[in-house]
Chains A and B, each alone.
Chain A
Amino acid sequence: MSRSSRSIWGNPLSLLEVTKLGVSYGDMIALHEVSVSVEEGEAVTVLGANAAGKTTLLRAISGLVPAREGTILFDGKPMDGVPAHERVERGLVQVPEGRLVFPFLSVEDNLMLGAFTRRARARLKSSLERVYAMFPRLPERRAQLAGSLSGGEQQMLALGRGLMALPRLLMLDEPSLGLAPLLVQEVMNRVARIRFEGVTVLIVEQNVKQTLKFVDRGYVLENGWLALSGSAKELGASDQVRRAYLGM
């Protein structure tokens, strides 16, 4: 049990507690009063069509875009005013959409930068061994420029780089986006494995069917509003989800 996961009232306090979050880009409102929580050890997914606000939600949690209203509590502490890099230091880690590896740095340098924070750097060596064991293609290519890797390899690198930060919560934004079907399967297997190794995960992913197999709960966003939430089983059985995201 985490040291800070209980409030003074004795109620369990989530690792991540987003309450009535609103985000806008200029005049356009991207998120309306969205409330989402993730418990320690849980895997949670956020579903939704394109432009439903999924990426915006993760960006706001990471501090890349400011929250217009509402609160984000991580480990019980409010995140407003905490800059993006400081949130990473506290264990709030995101593997962004489009992978965003550093193309002109080597694979190993990319991984080492994943452990840039003071907290993660202390265990850089063991993290690197662990990531190399988990993604055997990466040590083969450690000296290669990250930009020269294939899309699938870059995604493995991005996942590995995220793990290097020793995440307390790992947020994954569309890890299988733009990959060939065979690679999608491989990436999803790795994500499931990361989850079963005990990493707390918040994932946005188009492959709803496969994602629902390994997450505990999920939320559905529609046009920036929270439309639905429930356990993976409930969502998988919901007509709304089946029609909109599972093509049934």
Chain B
Amino acid sequence: MQLVLQIVANGLLIGGLYALLAVGLTLIFGVLRVVNFAHAEFMMLGMYGAYWLWSIYGLDPYVSVFLITPVVFLLGVAVDRLVVQRSIGKPDVTVVFATLGLSILLQNAALTLWRADIRSVSTFATGSVFVVGGVRLSVAMTVSFAAALLFALGLWFFLTRTMYGKAIQAVAQNRRAAALMGIDVKRVYLFTYSVAVAAAGAMGVLVAPIFTIFPRVGQTHIVTIFVIVVLGGLGSVPGAVVAALLVGIIRAGAGFLIGTAWGELAYFAVFLLVLIVRPQGFFGRRGAEVYGG
């Protein structure tokens, strides 16, 4: 029993990290109708930001996250203006190549600037655990898990309770009608993209004490994130959270029961099964991915 709890806890914690990335990715898709292949690269940039501020100024990631997140937000503003919005309204492949190209560009920029060396950040949180009811929890993982859930809850509250949040939903559901309400659709795109990639950057900072840092680190996670987004239902924020936690648990469970390498196989198997039974994902609305004119 203790063991089961431990596995579930491990799975939930890792799932929480995925959630922070998946929520942003699903939001960008839902609102902009853009698949942001470069999403995990913003996490990578957040990790390097944490590394440099830690190694040069000795700043703890839990402090530097408040500096790095706004910087990644501004980077998101620039990328949205220069790359993403120029490709919207063009053929679908244009958008794919634009964000895929951006992903490759950012990876190689990191490779050129910071080399392929594997780096890591160690803080008081690295390797420290606390015990709750016999379950050992990593401090760093728990902090990032809490941050992820807070972000998802805050975002959900914003989207469903505020006028601007509802305007974002309106753009997701029909951009032409939204423009006729007096909503500045381009500004909604800009805001959505920047918030989503800033969340990815924040997640990068928070996981810097946990994962090793290298230019292609984003690529090791992005496929999992895509599985989560589709599993939760394209464009659904609560769906992304639920799917992220579920994938975390399945991965941890299969990893323990069968072997680490099987973790990935297990969640992909579940993914395919769900797609057969419910192609729109847990919270997806059938046809919602083509809504929006």
B residues less than 8 Å from A93 (CB atoms) = 180
Query: Does A100 belong to the interface (CB within 8 Å)?
Result: yes
Choice from A63, A101, A120, A165 contacting B177 with Cβ under 8 Å: A101
A-B contact count (CB 8 A): 70
7 A-B residue pairings within 8 Å (CB atoms): A88-B182, A102-B169, A102-B173, A102-B178, A104-B285, A113-B163, A114-B181
| Contact residues in B for A94 (Cβ distance below 8 Å) | 180
Total interface residues on A, using CB and 8 Å? 28
**Residue A62, interface by CB 8 Å:** yes
Q: Are A102 and B177 in contact (CB under 8 A)?
A: yes
Interface centre among B166, B185, B288 (most CB of A within 10 A): B166
Cβ of B176 within 8 Å of any chain A Cβ, yes or no, is yes
Q: CA of A64 to CA of B180 in the docked complex: distance in angstroms?
A: 9
Q: Bound state CA distance, A236 and B67, in angstroms? A: 69
Contact call B180/A62, Cβ cutoff below 8 A = yes
Which residues from chain A contact B182 at a C-beta distance below 8 Å?
85-86, 88-89, 116-117, 120, 165
Partner of A109, one of B166, B185, B288, B293: B166
A64-B181 contact, Cβ under 8 Å, with A103-B291, A105-B169, A113-B166: no
Contact between chains at A116 and B173 (CB < 8 Å): no
Given contacts A96-B177, A100-B174, A103-B291, contact A116 B285 (CB under 8 A): no
Q: Does B275 belong to the interface (CB within 8 Å)?
A: no
The answer to whether A112 and B180 have CB atoms under 8 Å apart is no
B173 engages A85 (CB within 8 Å): no
Q: Chain A's nearest CB lies how many Å from the CB of B186?
A: 8
Seen from chain B, the residues whose Cβ lies within 8 Å of a Cβ on chain A are: 163, 166-167, 169-170, 173-174, 176-185, 285, 288, 291, 293
Which A residue's beta carbon lies closest to that of B288? A104
Nearest-CB distance from A97 to chain B (Å)? 10
Contact of A112 among B163, B179, B185, B293 (CB under 8 A): B163
Interface assignment of A198: CB less than 8 Å from any CB of chain B: no
Binary flags per residue of A39-81, CB closer than 8 Å to B gives 1, else 0: 0000000000000000000000011100000000000000000
Distance A64 CA – B179 CA, assembled complex (angstroms): 8
Contact of A168 with B by CB under 8 A: no
List residues 124-159 of chain A with CB under 8 A from any CB of chain B: none
Collect the chain B residues with CB atoms within 8 Å of residue A84's CB. 179-180
Query: Could you say which residues of chain A place their CB within 8 Å of the CB of B170?
Result: 102, 105, 113
With CB as the reference atom, state the residue of chain A lying closest to B179: A84
Q: Give bound CA distance, A83 to B170, whole Å.
A: 18
The listed residue (A86, A89, A102) touching B174 by CB distance below 8 A is A102
User: How many whole Å from A246's CB to the nearest CB in chain B?
Assistant: 30
Interface pair B167/A64, CB less than 8 Å apart: no
Q: 20 extra interchain contacts, Cβ-Cβ under 8 A, other than A112-B163, A113-B170?
A: A64-B180, A84-B179, A88-B179, A88-B180, A93-B180, A96-B176, A96-B180, A100-B174, A100-B180, A100-B293, A102-B170, A102-B173, A103-B291, A104-B288, A112-B166, A113-B167, A113-B178, A113-B183, A116-B183, A117-B182
Question: What are the residues of chain B within 8 A of A121 when measuring CB–CB?
Answer: 163
B110 to chain A, nearest CB (A): 37
